Structure 1
Amino acid sequence: MRAWRKAPPVLHTVIMSNSIGAGSGTNQASSGARPGGASRPRRPAMLSPREADEISGDIDPGLRGEIAHTTAAAIVDRARASEDPEVVERLVRLVEDEGLDVVAGLWADSPADTLPGALWRMYVLREWVRRDPSTVADRYRLGIDAAPVPNVVAGVVTPPGPDDVRAVADAVLSGVFAGDLAVALERAGAFCRVLATGAAFDADHVETLDALYATRMTRGAASLVRTAEELEHAAGLWRADRLD
């Protein structure tokens, strides 16, 4: 069982700041409101920064799940209600500033059909792009013409360079906090589908030279397709007011 890690300071700031929304997090930016003006389900009680920091060692899976849902709902609801570009930028850079293991401690165990699970997948995708933009750009170029998504949905210029894919990854994640969250999830899913197609083509190209590496890339492509499906499903749940 993973040991609990302290919530990063930026989450404490967003969750607890009086300047970013108020109350139970039912306020939303109008561009991302759920269909029909439906109100959000009631959220679990909020932990204070001190209470979160004092949790150490192995914790009950139910409590970990409650913390995951609470933090995910808080940062999404309140960041969107604040409409503050600086808050959005800080949240986009969360993994970069705090470390992937810190965010993993919050959300990595969450199912794909939950808000924290969807956020985790979005952050992992963005971190991959940030760390290896050249490979991502190459895979995108290989996959865009054959992937079953419109280029405009994935949102990358053609042909893309490393800076282009980084910019799109940031823009897609920004949409979680300052746009239509369902569209952001769908764009991330489309991006994954293009990369999966490119990885499959790349695997075919290197199979005669390195069969083991080709097999690993093929498995990676399958994983990207699965992630795309999960993100697209999460988008549908958000529109149905069922992504919690």
Structure 2
Amino acid sequence: MNRFYKDVTLAEAEGGFHVLLDGKPVKTPGRNALRLPTRRLAEAVAAEWHVQGEEVVATSMPLLRLSNTVIDGVAVNRADVVTAILRFGENDLLCYRAHQPLELANRQAEGWDPMLAWARQRLGARLHVAQGLTHRDQPPEALAALREVMEGYDAWTLAGLHVIASITGSLVLGLAVVEGHATGPHAFALSRIDEAYQIEKWGQDAEAEQRAANLARDMDRAVELIAAVR
């Protein structure tokens, strides 16, 4: 759509900040007030509006889109969101290992075992590891521990965690980022050990490389959202 505003400003509101376009507060697609919990996040969202040219491109405003998702979706469906994220723990990438080739299996163990040890020691979640892709049920007490951690998060952090877990295929990696045990780039690299191995053996595909870059960018924005609400 065409740019319909000139000035982008902020205004304090009860419980946070509003982004104003020509003095009018921005609303979400659900017609809710876009009330952002911290100045840092409000400034980041305002910057996305400010840099738009003659055309407003929604896909170039990832923090705004995430914020809309939080307000219209996560905040009003919190329990369902926690359950959806927990599924990434039920089928966590880190728990499914290659048997062969041995080099790949060793890389997985080197990268993933420390993360599972952290989840066991710090989160109280002892997850089982299996070889191959056949599903293995995780202990109910481990999943309960992961759920308990997530239930302590606000809606904004849950939204960021959902993005990270979706991209990496791992709730453990997502929680490691949220809890400060891993950086976003490190978690992303760990989630792509298999892909990195295949690239070494067979070379890079331009289309796959672009998909990976897009995923890395989306993950960076999720990490930025989590940091901005703290």
Which structure shows the higher helix fraction? 1
* Structure of greater relative contact order (alpha carbons < 8 Å, 6+ residues apart): 1
| TM-score (normalizing by structure 1) | 0.34
| TM-score (normalizing by structure 2) | 0.36
Which structure shows the higher strand fraction? 2
